């Protein structure tokens, strides 16, 4: 049985796909169903509008939008749905993603976009953040989050002789 489709990943261009696949890989770790579409807010605004307006009734819980340059896609999506929207700024111009970061993060009050880091690192964190949102009322995903956090903790390498349980000033 395939996992229910809960997260919609949208990118502004095919050139954004390689970075945003990292988001899908993270969602796979949590067993969360996702889809990915290419739909530019300036080249096909009607398609973006239709997707955003249908998202909730299609059962999606979170939208993740990756875009570079002027990067208005996440904000436009957020203006047309009350689902949480996570924006991933991508490096697509000589400004290396700073343009997209400022565009996405600076949404005026009332239409927030939860903005993560530029590029693949941000795309991966968008997957983790989307999972945390889904986990608010999904015990399976909450359990998976706990297992991923426990695995992260295993990567810690303590100096010899240091006991973290006794740490403190
Ligand atoms: C944005 O412009 C896209 O999100 C992409 O990052 C950037 C460049 O798009 P292409 O010229 O590669 O299609 O809309």
User: Is residue 111 a part of any domain in this protein?
Assistant: yes
pTM: 0.94
> 9, 10, 14, 15: which to mutate for ligand 1, most atoms within 8 A of CB?
15
User: Is residue 167 a part of any domain in this protein?
Assistant: no
What pLDDT, on a 0 to 100 scale, did the predictor assign at position 84? 98
Tell me the per-residue pLDDT of 63-104, one tens digit each, with 9 for 90 and over: 999 999 999 999 999 999 999 999 999 999 999 999 999 999
What pLDDT, on a 0 to 100 scale, did the predictor assign at position 168? 64
Tell me the per-residue pLDDT of 100-124, one tens digit each, with 9 for 90 and over: 999 999 999 999 999 999 999 999 9
User: Is residue 141 a part of any domain in this protein?
Assistant: yes
Where residue 92 sits, what CATH number does that domain have? 3.40.50.1970
* Residue with CA closest to ligand 1 atom 9: 13
User: Is residue 165 a part of any domain in this protein?
Assistant: no
* Domain assignment of residue 122, given as a range: 5-147
| Separation CA 27–CA 35 (nearest Å) | 10
- Give every CB contact of residue 122 below 8 A, 6+ residues apart in sequence: 88, 89, 116
1: confidence class by pLDDT, cuts 50, 70, 90: very low
**What total of structural domains would you count in the chain?**
1
Tell me the per-residue pLDDT of 139-163, one tens digit each, with 9 for 90 and over: 999 999 999 999 999 998 999 999 8
What pLDDT, on a 0 to 100 scale, did the predictor assign at position 2? 62
User: Is residue 23 a part of any domain in this protein?
Assistant: yes
d(CA 149, ligand 1 centre) in Å = 34
Helices (runs of H) and strands (runs of E) counted in the chain:
6, 5
Please state, rounded to an integer, the average pLDDT across all residues of the chain: 96
User: Is residue 156 a part of any domain in this protein?
Assistant: no
Give phi and psi for 53, each to the nearest 5.
-70, -25
User: Is residue 164 a part of any domain in this protein?
Assistant: no
């Amino acid at each position: 049985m395939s996992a229910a489709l809960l997260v919609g990943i949208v990118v502004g261009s095919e050139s954004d796909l390689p970075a945003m696949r990292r988001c899908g890989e993270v969602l796979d770790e949590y067993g969360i169903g996702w889809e990915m579409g290419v739909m530019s807010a300036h080249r096909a605004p009607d398609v973006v509008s239709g997707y955003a307006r249908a998202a909730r009734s299609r059962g999606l819980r979170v939208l993740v939008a990756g875009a570079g340059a002027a990067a208005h896609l996440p904000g436009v999506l957020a203006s047309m749905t009350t689902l949480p929207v996570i924006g991933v700024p991508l490096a697509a111009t000589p400004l290396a993603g700073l343009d997209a970061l400022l565009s996405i993060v600076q949404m005026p009050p009332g239409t927030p976009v939860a903005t993560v880091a530029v590029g693949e690192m941000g795309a991966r964190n968008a997957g983790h953040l989307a999972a945390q949102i889904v986990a608010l009322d999904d015990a399976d995903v909450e359990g998976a989050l706990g297992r991923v956090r426990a695995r992260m903790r295993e990567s810690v390498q303590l100096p010899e002789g240091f006991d973290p349980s006794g740490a403190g000033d």
